Structure 1
Amino acid sequence: MSQETDEIREAIAGELRLMDPSVRMSRSLARELLDPAFVEVGASGRRWTYDEMLATLPELDGGAENGPRYESSNFEGVLLAPGLVHLTFESMMDGHRARRSSLWRKQGAPATWQMYYHQATPIPLDSV
C-alpha cells in the first residue's frame, strides 16, 4: 500500500461516503462530493456527466437503505500534486466485482475534496 497522507485519507473517506446509500439517495449530499466537471466511465462502459449522475444516482445500485451495498477493499492512493489524489480499489456488489480508479481534487472556497473522474472495470468471476 502506498504511504497514506491526510489527503489520501480524505479522498478515501469521500469515496466511502459516495458508496453510502444515504448519500446516494440525496442529490444535495452527492453534489458536495462530485466536482462540477465530473465524468465517469462506468463498468457498463457508459459515460456519465455530472448532471446525469446527480439525476440518476438515487436509482443506481447501492442507493437503497435495505438493498445491496458496495463493499470496497484494497484502497491505494497517490498524491499526484497538491490538491490532486488518484485512488484505486476494488468493489463488490451483489456478486459483481470491479476494479475502480478515481481522481479527487481539492479546490474552491472553502476548499473541499470532490471526485473529478471515476472509472470502473468489471472483473470476471474467474479472475484473481
Structure 2
Amino acid sequence: MTHENDDVNEAIAGELALMDPAVRASRALFEPLLDPEFVEVGSSGRRYTYEDMPAWLPDHQGGSPGGPRYEPSAITGVVLAPGLVHLTFETHVDGRRTRRSSLWRRRSEETGWRMYYHQGTPVPPGTE
C-alpha cells in the first residue's frame, strides 16, 4: 500500500506544481509535467492538446505571479493500475469554483509522473 500512496503523492505534487504561476509561465518547467499524449477539456469546454499548451498556459488564468491563483481543495487520488493515477479535487480562482479530474501516467522512472488527461467542470453558484 505504501507504494500506491507514494504514486498518488507524486501525482498530487505534479498537479500542485502545474497550478504554480512560476511553473505555468515556464515551458521548461511545465512541459516535463505533461505527457506527450496530453489532452485537456477545460472548464470552458475547449479541448487542448500537448502542442497547444506552450502558447496557452503562460497567458491563461493562474499564470501571472501577481494575478489570481488556483486554490485547490479536497485533492484525493487512487491508483487505477500500475503507472496510472486518477486525481479529483476542486479549485477556486477569481470567485469561480471548478471540479477537476486528472489522470497521471508514468511510463518510466526516467520520465516520472506526467499529466495524461485533465478535465474541469464549472460549479454553478449556490451548488453544494
Quickly name the TM-score band, shorter chain normalised: over 0.9
**What secondary structure is seen at the aligned counterpart in 1 of 2:74?**
strand
Equivalent position amino acid for 1:77 in 2: G
**What residue number does 2:96 align with?**
96
**What residue number does 2:77 align with?**
77
**What secondary structure is seen at the aligned counterpart in 1 of 2:98?**
strand
Distance in 2, matches of 1:54 and 1:104, equals: 19
Moved over 2 A (4+): none
Alpha-carbon displacement from aligned partner over 1:67-112 (angstroms, at most 9, x marks no partner): 1100000111010011100000000000000000000001145141
**What residue number does 1:110 align with?**
110
Equivalent position amino acid for 2:56 in 1: T
Distance in 2, matches of 1:30 and 1:9, equals: 18
Q: Can you give the 5+ residue segments of structure 1 that lack an aligned partner in the other structure? A: none
Identity %: 62
Q: Can you give the 5+ residue segments of structure 2 that lack an aligned partner in the other structure? A: none
Deviates more, 1:15-24 or 1:50-59: 50-59
